[in-house]
Amino acid sequence: MDTSVYDVVIIGAGPAGIQAAIHAVRKKSRVLLLGRIERSSLYSAHVENYACVEGVKIGQELLEAGIAQAKGFGAELMDDDVLKIRQQEALFALDLEGGATITSRTVIFATGTARKKLKVPGEKELAGRGVSYCVDCDANFYRKATVAVIGNASAAIDGALTLTGYASKVYLVSQELVASADLLEKLKGSTVEHLSGTWVKAIQGEKAVQSILLENGKEVAVDGVFIELGAKGAMELALEIGVQLDMDTMTHIDTNKLTETNVHGVYGAGDITGHPYQMAKAVGEGCVAGMEAANFARKQKGEGV
């Protein structure tokens, strides 16, 4: 048995991901949980409608307790962001922000789908007309163009680096970048022009994006703006390996009652699978996903379930 390969990798350290980790690791699987609990929508919430938990509980406390449980059962935890996912025969390879690549027999997507907005003038009005939230989806439309990527973390850096293969000029606008040394070094060695210590005040244009106005007063002419706030979205990562979306909404991944997607070995749990956005649903789906992924991995290794 190849001990360098994980049986189950879970992307997202919210209630769905934590519950998936607990159930998967208790099936004697090698489990890695990727994510930061402070990015979960539960983190700053107050919970009073969860069965068997009396009174009002702070989300942070629940998440911290869940992480301790998962680690206590033997799950591993890393706070790296995932930049890329690709299939390698029967395995999945995940490129992490810190420069490492890990492989796994299964992947569980357990992150939310909400896109963070800049909430500046012009963003809503020019959405789809030069304002995008997905570099991997829309980069090809900006060949030989001038573009700006807005963000302070790994998704923004990775997006800017990707766009250098398409656009003639790429700006990265950030207040203060927080990313791994490896990714920052790649940015430093690239052709991306980093406009640091400032932020976007407005996105300007009539029928399409024409420029961005920065808080330092500078106006920068661009043809497109990519808003990449935080980690790379699970939707983009899922699409990279052919996971189908829910045809009714096109905003969530499509799963069955066993939390399986159309890609063998890939599962979804929590907000990414759709409404209702409730902790009870997330935990339930995480339970199913963790057990199903562990069973799939054991079959792949030729072990009994």
Q: Tell me what pLDDT residue 232 has.
A: 67
The model's confidence at residue 250, banded by pLDDT at 50, 70 and 90, is: low
**Chain-centre distance of CA 120, in angstroms?**
23
**Per-chain mean pLDDT for the chain:** 91
Apex CA 99: angle with CA 98 and CA 101, to 5°? 110
In this structure, what are the phi and psi dihedrals at residue 272, rounded to the nearest 5 degrees?
A: -65, -15
Token look-up 């935080």 returns: 230
Q: Return the SS3 of 161.
A: helix
- Asked if residues 13 and 284 have their Cβ atoms less than 8 Å apart, the reply is no
C-alpha distance from residue 15 to each of 10, 156, 178, 303 (Å): 12, 26, 25, 29
The mean pLDDT of 238-264, rounded to a whole number, is: 89
Which residues does 28 contact at the CB level (< 8 Å), separation at least 6?
294
74-96 pLDDT per residue, tens = 999 999 889 999 999 899 999 99
195-214 pLDDT per residue, tens = 999 999 999 999 999 999 99
Distance CA 288, CA 290 (A): 6
DSSP conformation class of 250: S
The model's confidence at residue 252, banded by pLDDT at 50, 70 and 90, is: confident
Which helix or strand (DSSP H or E) is residue 34 part of?
strand 31-34
The mean pLDDT of 66-74, rounded to a whole number, is: 97
For residues 238 and 33, which has the higher predicted lDDT (pLDDT)? 33
For residues 130 and 47, which has the higher predicted lDDT (pLDDT)? 130
Residues in the chain: 305
Percentage of the residues of the chain whose pLDDT score is greater than 90: 70
For residues 17 and 305, which has the higher predicted lDDT (pLDDT)? 17
154-202 pLDDT per residue, tens = 889 999 999 999 999 999 999 999 888 899 999 999 999 999 999 999 9
Distance CA 9, CA 266 (A): 10
Q: What is the CATH number of domain 131-227?
A: 3.50.50.60
Number of neighbours of residue 151 by Cβ within 10 angstroms: 24
Which helix or strand (DSSP H or E) is residue 267 part of?
strand 266-268
**Chain-centre distance of CA 59, in angstroms?**
20
Which tokens sit at 41? Answer: 């929508």
Answer yes or no: same fold for 6-113+233-300 and 131-227: yes
Q: Tell me what pLDDT residue 1 has.
A: 43
pLDDT value at 216 more than 90: yes
Domain boundaries, the chain: 6-113+233-300, 131-227
What's the predicted TM-score (pTM) here? 0.75
Distance CA 161, CA 174 (A): 14
**Chain-centre distance of CA 295, in angstroms?**
25
The model's confidence at residue 4, banded by pLDDT at 50, 70 and 90, is: confident
pLDDT value at 134 more than 50: yes
- Asked if residues 107 and 297 have their Cβ atoms less than 8 Å apart, the reply is no
DSSP output for 38-86: GGSTTTT-EE--STT--S-EEHHHHHHHHHHHHHHHT-EEE-PPEEEEE
The mean pLDDT of 235-253, rounded to a whole number, is: 83
Of 3.40.50.720, 2.60.40.1930, 3.30.365.10, 3.50.50.60, which CATH number belongs to 6-113+233-300? Answer: 3.50.50.60
